[in-house]
Structure 1
């Protein structure tokens, strides 16, 4: 009898699983295939080849994949390498509350390159990957101008509060906030364009909107009242750095692959007005795969005429952590983070940290998100290039997620890591 064991079969999307097969012929080539359908019915799939041992076992914690979508000992490789069957799609959980992703695992004898109706697996499992822990509460936020979703952990709290901001494609993206709440944070997934009655495109970044969001979060009785953390990626990281620089409510900031200056649009806060560095769209690259590379369109922040566009992070109340993929092909994030740290040190601010990851690309997300080197974007006629290498990027995601939680918990709540819910 052939057995396929997956543990746990129901878990948060950022939690690792163990996969073990037994009862197979000794020294047999097998194929493990993982697949799922997202909420739009799009198929994502991965595969890896393994050789059973002398007892007919395969343990992904110890045994190396010989081929397929990856090689080597990578227990989560089948999840990391899930790829869209239609090109340029990004796997993203939209409805985090009502259903998980169901990941189907199938074990085949011999080498299977493509699943067909003629092939039958000798063992199967279905794994539930949730983006919210039991007891987490979601509250729709429509207060004043602010639009978003607040996720609260179970219990009375108070919990460290975090504002979670994604990039310039807009909309309301909730999966990172729901996972943060699942690990003990009161997390506000904040929309700022292309959602509800918000503007359809980003013209001026008004920091008063983000200050209002911070105050809404701090007024919640389940939120620690001394200040909030901010997590941002891409354009959201730029906004997070601006919030840290100007808003006294911000106590700790995580900038994931962002810039150190105002770019493209203008920024305003009360009497302050900063015109952004213009995008140099003539430097947009079209790759051999037909995708766009945005890296070189951001202006040189060292030019004297852009001096006033540089964000004064030395004024930030609390520490700042830059998480950087060294193979980011959307922004030159490593250069921007180094410039930010150098500026902070010039002004005597010692709590700005840069952690860069060789081989990692732009979309550094929680570990439940598979590697996405390129995907279609709403605002561009061609897909955008994000960059990175599969194994290096996905290992970086695990480290970044752990460091983000530790950094926020220590610098907002003043306590070490808690056990997961």
Structure 2
């Protein structure tokens, strides 16, 4: 009898699985498929051809895929190669506490050609992929101006504190914060526009709002003080960098595919960082109808308006820049290199740059599928994010380990006591 054996069947989204198929004929060709339906009813699926060994078994840790959505040895390829049946859909978990993604793995007869759906089901197994570990607590926050969700790890603590910021899609995005809490960080998923009574746009970013959030987090009895970390992506990364510059509470900042200048006005008390020049006429639509925005931002080195640059050399904490070299939304590698150079010019060594060939803009925790392009509620056309599937997956796996290591190192009691 054909069986799919998965260990563990219930796991956090960033945990690898050991997947085996047994009971096949020697050297039999079969199709393996993964399917999940998100909370909006969108189907995501992947399918690959494998060949059983002489014993009639396929072990994804050792067997190479022969065709389909990827080739080669990729034990978690069925997950990171998931693609939406409804094009331009992004897999974005809404309820991170009460429900997992249910992923159905199945084995079928296969003729290697995927012109039609796989048929002749031989075996199936369903696995649960969670964004929160048992005991993680979610607390909705409406404290003064602050809007967000606080995720607390199980246990008494105190835990290192982290603020989690997303980019220009607005609202409250929680999946990374709950996963960080599952890894031992008290994490505040912070909304800053397009949510409840917050502003509808980000033309002016007042860092006082984010300072209030940092102080709120540090005031919680389960949060280890006196400093916090920030994890951010895209538009949120410029805010995180501004927090690192202006706020002494920030000891560790992760900037994923961001920039070190102001888009719109950034203000803190009596200081204003004016917007870099934007060249909207440079935005182009490719032959797929996708909006490419990487040329819209002026080159900070060439801009006459030098007041747009964030003075990164004033950051007292450590900064980890993570960039994808196939980012089609922002020229993130060039901007991170310029920020690193600015630090060096001022004799600072508190910056680290991780650059990933083939990775796109939306670098997520491990095993999330590549979102090459998707709709943005604030733009008239779907946006091209970029990335190559396998290299992007490798970047997500490696960078997540580095993020956790970076936060643990710089937010540990020993590190904080040296600040």
TM tier, smaller: over 0.9
Contact 1:149 1:188 in 2 (8 A): yes
When normalised by structure 1's length, the TM-score is: 0.96
* Corresponding position of 1:387: 386
Contact 2:273 2:309 in 1 (8 A): no
The unaligned stretches of length 5 or more in structure 1 are 417-421
Counterpart CA distance in 2 for 1:115 and 1:206 is: 53
* Corresponding position of 1:35: 35
* Corresponding position of 1:8: 8
- Structure 1 window deviating more from structure 2 (378-387 vs 125-134): it is 378-387
* Deviation at residue 278 of structure 1 after TM alignment: 3.0
Counterpart CA distance in 2 for 1:141 and 1:115 is: 48
Contact 1:29 1:49 in 2 (8 A): yes
* Deviation at residue 326 of structure 1 after TM alignment: 0.7
Q: Does 1:326 align with 2:310?
A: no
Q: Does 1:151 align with 2:151?
A: yes
1:20-419 alignment runs, 5 A limit: 20-111=20-111, 113=114, 119-263=119-263, 265-414=264-413
* Deviation at residue 113 of structure 1 after TM alignment: 2.4
* Deviation at residue 279 of structure 1 after TM alignment: 2.1
- Which deviations, in whole Å up to 9, do the C-alpha atoms of 1:132-158 show, x marking residues without a partner? 000000011100101000000011111
- Which deviations, in whole Å up to 9, do the C-alpha atoms of 1:196-251 show, x marking residues without a partner? 11111212000000000000000001001111101110000111001001111111
Cα gap change, 1:123 to 1:115, in 2 (>3 Å): farther
Counterpart CA distance in 2 for 1:82 and 1:168 is: 24
Counterpart CA distance in 2 for 1:120 and 1:65 is: 20
Aligned length: 414
Counterpart CA distance in 2 for 1:126 and 1:163 is: 33
Contact 1:409 1:415 in 2 (8 A): no
- Which deviations, in whole Å up to 9, do the C-alpha atoms of 1:264-307 show, x marking residues without a partner? x1111111122211321100121121101110001110135221
* Corresponding position of 1:419: none
Counterpart CA distance in 1 for 2:144 and 2:41 is: 36
Secondary structure class of the residue paired with 1:121? strand
Contact 1:28 1:109 in 2 (8 A): no
* Deviation at residue 110 of structure 1 after TM alignment: 2.1
Contact 2:360 2:385 in 1 (8 A): yes
When normalised by structure 2's length, the TM-score is: 0.97
Secondary structure class of the residue paired with 2:119? coil
Secondary structure class of the residue paired with 1:362? coil
Secondary structure class of the residue paired with 1:61? coil
Counterpart CA distance in 1 for 2:10 and 2:384 is: 33
Counterpart CA distance in 1 for 2:70 and 2:293 is: 28
